[in-house]
Chains A and B, each alone.
Chain A
Amino acid sequence: MSLKDDLKDIRDQGLDDINKSTDLKSLNNIRVHLLGKKGPITSALRGIKELPVEKRPEVGSYANEIRDDLTKAIVEQRDNLANAQLNKRLAAEKIDVSLPGRSVPQGQPHVIQQIIDEVVDLFLGMGYQVLTGPEVETDHYNFEMMNLPKDHPARDMQDTFYITNEILMRTQTSPMQARTLEKHDFSKGPLKMISPGIVYRRDTDDPTHSHQFHQVEGLVIDKHITMADLKGTLLTMAHQIFGDKFNVRLRPSYFPFTEPSVEVDITCFNCMGKGCDVCKHTGWIEVLGAGMVHPNVLNMAGVDSKQYGGFAFGLGPDRFAMLKYGVDDIRDFYLDDVRFLNQFSKRGI
């Protein structure tokens, strides 16, 4: 047998062993045996000295070839075995993905807060500042500065919690109009503000009345603010908060602190204007009151009504939420049943 034949036998036997190996450990043993310093190739090559010089390179390169073949076979078999092992593990690790995930605590804003935040963000984007005022107000700001002197019949529309003759729980966020008008420096530009907050009325709590609820007041005063601007602003709000399909309409109304005064209706949520029981078949739902600020309000606050004017509006987040979600009892907002609170959209979180 020639050396070459020996080498060929080593290769064939080696490949056979490699392919038959079933685990990484035995494969490694084969590798050490075949390719190690004491392995068959090394020992076979010791006989190379006995070959004629001109034959040595041929046998040498053949030996290297065999070594490469074996190495390659070992790597391949190692990958095969590793894959097989991994696949076995993966198969064993299979789980029921339909079992529920572990609970992670997550709270959410109150539905009224969601509405307020939405309104606030919209008006921030339109360049309004956000102001808050006292919930315990003076008769002066809550009524008199709002063009509601002591014996004004419209005071009956708002039953008031008085603390003393002059101090009361504010019945509206409108006193923030007077407070802001008094402070604003018109030389620095127009006044554009909204004021969200809690208000109070002397009402017996029932499904449609709450002695505590929310309002968001809006006020824009400058040298040239028109009723068309009011309409456009409210239309924008309706589109942003409720959607593009919603329209607004203005109807004449009466508030002592605005003239002209309007009630603002938006397209009925329930029937989208077709007419249903919710909107009493009008296709419209009343959502807020608004108007052009009464000159008396401006003048009393030290703003010259001949030079400046603008609009004001007051909306009720409670009412918005009731309409938007079909909540039929306003008390639900203040009893904080967690089954109630957790129902509303969490998209904003």
Chain B
Amino acid sequence: MQVSYKWLQKYLKLDMPAKDLAEKIERTAVEVDSVKVPMDGLKKIVVGHIVSMEMHPDSDHLHVCMVDVGEDDPLQIVCGAPNVANGQKVIVALPGSRIGHNVKIKRSKMRGVVSNGMICALDEIGFSKDVIPKEWADGIYVFPDDTPVGQPVYPFLGMDDSIIDLDVTPNRGDMLSILGTVHDLAAIYDQKPKIEKPEVEESSSVQTKDLISAKVEDNGLAKTYDLRVINNVKIGPSPAWLQITLWNAGIRPIDNVVDVTNYIMLKYGQPLHSFDADKIDGGIDVRLANKGEKITTLDDDDHDLSENDIVIADDKKPVAIAGVMGGANSQIDSHTKNVAIEAAIFDPIHIRKTAQRHLLHSEASQRFERGINPDGVEDAINEAAELIHELSGGQVAKGIVSAAKYQPELPVIYITAQRTNHVLGTSLSLSEIKDIFDRLGFSSEAYKDGLNVTIPRRRWDIHIEADLFEEVARIYGYDNLPATLPTDTKTVGALTPSQKLQRAARHVLEGLGLTQAISYSLTTEAKAKMFLMRKSFTTKLAWPMTQDHSILRMNVLSGLLDDVAFNNARKVSDIALYEQGRVFYKDTADQVRPQEVEHLAGVVSGHLIKSTWDHKAEPVDFYQVKGIVEQLLKNLDIKGDTQFIANDKIPEMHPGRTADILIHGHRVGFLGQINPKTANQFKIHDTYGFELDLQELIDLPKNDDQYEPIPKYPSVKRDIAIVVNKDIKNDQIVDLINKRGGAYLQNVQLFDVYEGSNVPAGKKSMAYSLTYLNPNETLKDDQVNAAFEKIKNHLTAELDAEIR
């Protein structure tokens, strides 16, 4: 809500700079979006009087005006506005002036005729087109005749005011009004606001109830519904003060009836609606719309009404969407004679849904959604009627027709100093607390060792003790709260084993060269289903924003491939990323909530180790990524053997370069090269990756942390090179060596694999280094020789190996 500082000053003695006031509001009540003074940045713009006017000799639309700007001689100014006329008081930007959008005006020539400045339209001096009255929308603005010539224009247009834009939270609907803001500021600055109760002169001899009838079908739709009628009005533009008030609040002035209803809405926070009473057929009925009903709203949009929209209807048709916008069929126009004014409290939930459904978020709906002060309805309609009478000359009919009336009981809340201090951490006395309620205008009386506080209806957001604590805290000032730390019973803060392992896993991968990525959990259906580690149904959003983010992922790898693609597209080809995050599995199609499982995945593309001046780096391959996974698993120290078993069944993985990762025979993930076909779909270079079920790694039993003494006796090394058939796997050889290695074999290390010259076709040479150790005494050569011989024999016998 855009609040005029000058308007506030009518009720309170405020003389601090607007910025200070805004800061105080922000610290005590609601957020302030901005403070603006419309004249800021403008220079040398004055009221001018056109004393003569001629057609431009060389143009069919330009006029050459002599304009009195209060100096010795009038200025010659060329003007192209269609509505310019001799005798007008106008906005003149003098030579050397600065107008809207930081434009400088200089002496110039227009088609050969000297122009000493510019006669301005409102938008040219910074007005938003949305607030300019229709009559000035397509031309220059014309002041009333009594405006003094040569004076700066700002005060005559309200541009010297400060406009404080409040961002009102949903609970503080009371602040969507000048009076509500005044009440709060009164409490903040400890002043008594001067608010007069409006009086209405009912000068018509007619009773309102003889002119119009109203009924509310269901009190749930409108708790209050009041009507007044003003007869014989004369529609015309509003006076300048009213227009200024509205445009400074961001509302376009329309005419002297509609403007009054908007003015009252700003002042009281009570939206009003004005109908042309002669366009209403029969009585007013507040009801839900019937199926198939339609309405054209004031903004000329057609709406198909829902059976959940509240409408104001006459005997034949809806004439307004209640609380949201009026209908074109009953609107005030220049011929309107008799006006019906409506002041109501509509159901906030209905209004909110209707505004959403029809995309009609109006000033009125915004207020109905947040609630209305039940005590302000009658004042609002009375002041509106009186003001319409004053500005349009009509007569107000006697009495209010009321179809519903809401006068809730005032809540009384008991509060003690002890509880207040207990919650806020303050040490306020009861009288200090009472003083705060006095400032807020909440009456309170001593009860037991506390206060019974009566909440006025204008603060319908306050229901419970905690609400009062907030009032005390903010008026007392959050800056005055002490800053302490909870001091009660000590608690232990420690990560759980699972959290520790997750953190450790991240650190290991970072140490191995992978940088953490965070990709999107919501992806496309195709990507969600890739690299599936178990059978699962998809989890879909009911109303996604885009198909790109519509399905919950069931793997982390595809997101990382998106990342690789993003980087590759930007000519970044060396990528090493990992991500730890959730995947979402559904075992059956009708399972509503998916199971969330922590996964850990990584991708490496291009080079992991960069080439340098003395070292030519190899592009990443299977064994590099396998090394990373092996090191990770080694660090996590899970009990049982880790195995890598070839798997050619994952469609998105290279069938010849992919392995399942098994721990103690249990599959925990896979690694390998992304299938070039898949890589092609993602538009990425050769990429290797892995995905692990992190939850499994967390749950699997770990080795006990144990210390083994460093051996006192030397170990003995023996190397062996064998030639075997190409299809014999390293695992087979190592397993055999280990199985037949004897009691002292400590370690088997592959150190060479060779195919090519000197090795027969279809064969390969494998070389291993074997380490023997007896922890209890020095090994003798013949012991090692015997064990080594045994291995040779078995390799020859079982794997047809040729010992080299």
Contact = CB atoms under 8 A, between A and B. Distances in A.
B145 interface: no
Interface in A145-163: 151, 153-154, 156-157, 161-163
A128 B485 CA distance: 13
B516 A109 contact: yes
A336 B567 contact: yes
Contact of B483 (A126, A232, A349): A232
Given A100-B612, A110-B516, A134-B596, A295 B482 contact: no
A192 B516 contact: no
Contact of B469 (A251, A259, A341): A259
Interface stretch (A23-31, A43-51, A171-179, A222-230): A222-230
Nearest to B461: A254
B411 to A, nearest CB: 15
B460 to A, nearest CB: 13
Interface size class of chain B, counting residues whose CB lies under 8 Å from the partner chain: 35 or more
Nearest to B168: A254
A226 B520 CA distance: 38
B293 to A, nearest CB: 23
B316 interface: no
B489 interface: yes
A108 B592 CA distance: 37
B504 interface: no
B512 A136 contact: no
Contact of B486 (A99, A198, A222, A259): A222
Nearest to B581: A198
Contact of B474 (A105, A109, A252, A349): A252
A202 B543 contact: yes
Contacts of A162: 541-543
B543 A231 contact: no
A136 B594 contact: yes
Contact of A225 (B369, B486, B519): B486
Given A108-B516, A212-B522, A229-B485, A249 B425 contact: no
Contacts of B23: 282
A294 B560 CA distance: 41
B545 A203 contact: yes
Interface string B562-581: 01001100101011111001
Contact of A136 (B352, B353, B584): B584
Nearest to B517: A336
A125 B464 contact: no
B28 A252 contact: yes
Interface string B22-56: 01001111110010000000000000000000000
A147 to B, nearest CB: 11
Interface stretch (A1-9, A76-84, A86-94, A260-268): A260-268
**A108, A202, A211, A292: which has the most chain B beta carbons within 10 Å?**
A211
B520 A334 contact: yes
A259 B424 CA distance: 11
A259 B27 contact: no
Contact of B577 (A106, A222, A338): A338
Interface residues of A, number: 90
B513 A334 contact: no
B304 interface: no
A296 B567 CA distance: 49
Nearest to B576: A107
Given A164-B592, A334-B519, A261 B31 contact: no
B557 to A, nearest CB: 13
B478 A252 contact: yes
Q: Is the interface of A mostly helix, strand, loop or mixed?
A: mixed
A171 B494 CA distance: 27
B490 interface: yes
A345 interface: no
B582 A334 contact: no
Contacts of B520: 211-212, 334
B582 A135 contact: yes
A336 B542 contact: no
Contacts of A128: 491, 493
Contact of A259 (B29, B470, B541): B470
Nearest to B550: A161
Contact of A292 (B169, B466, B479, B522): B466
Contact of A253 (B169, B356, B464, B577): B169
Nearest to B491: A127
Contact of B424 (A151, A228, A333): A228
Contact of A192 (B426, B486, B517): B486
B57 interface: no
Contacts of A112: 518
A294 B34 CA distance: 30
Contacts of B521: 135, 198, 200, 212
Given A102-B614, A136-B552, A212-B521, A189 B349 contact: no
A337 B466 contact: no
A336 B612 contact: no
A259 B467 contact: yes
A233 B490 CA distance: 15
Interface string B471-488: 001100011011111101
Contact of A211 (B426, B506, B545): B545
B496 interface: yes
B425 A228 contact: yes
Contacts of A200: 521-522
Interface string A210-243: 0110000000101111111101110110000000
Nearest to B29: A252
B269 interface: no
A269 interface: no
Interface string A115-154: 0010000011111111000111010000000000001011
Given A203-B545, A259-B470, A103 B584 contact: no
Contacts of B30: 252
B515 A107 contact: yes
B514 A107 contact: yes
Contact of A190 (B34, B489, B541): B489
B545 A341 contact: no
Contacts of A322: none
A37 interface: no
A314 interface: no
Contacts of B575: 338
Contacts of A164: 542, 592
**A136, A203, A222, A336: which has the most chain B beta carbons within 10 Å?**
A336
Given A129-B493, A259-B470, A254 B608 contact: no
Contact of B517 (A124, A167, A233, A341): A341
B170 to A, nearest CB: 5
Contacts of A337: 566-567, 570, 572
Interface string B695-736: 000000000000000000000000000000000000000000
A249 B494 contact: no
A71 interface: no
B511 A252 contact: no
Contacts of B566: 335-337
A251 B356 CA distance: 30
B483 A249 contact: no
A228 B352 contact: no
Interface of B: 23, 26-31, 34, 169-172, 348-349, 352-353, 356, 369-370, 422-426, 464-467, 469-470, 473-474, 478-479, 481-486, 488-496, 499, 503, 506-507, 509-522, 539-545, 549, 552, 560, 563, 566-567, 570, 572, 574-578, 581-582, 584, 592-594, 596, 608-610, 612-615, 617
Given A103-B617, A228-B482, 12 more contacts: A101-B612, A105-B608, A107-B513, A108-B510, A110-B515, A127-B493, A136-B593, A163-B540, A226-B423, A251-B31, A336-B566, A338-B572
13 contacts: A99-B614, A100-B612, A127-B490, A127-B491, A129-B491, A129-B494, A161-B544, A163-B592, A192-B491, A236-B485, A252-B29, A261-B470, A295-B466
Pairs of residues from A and B, 8 with the lowest C-beta to C-beta distance, nearest first: A105-B513, A228-B425, A226-B425, A260-B470, A254-B169, A250-B478, A336-B563, A232-B483
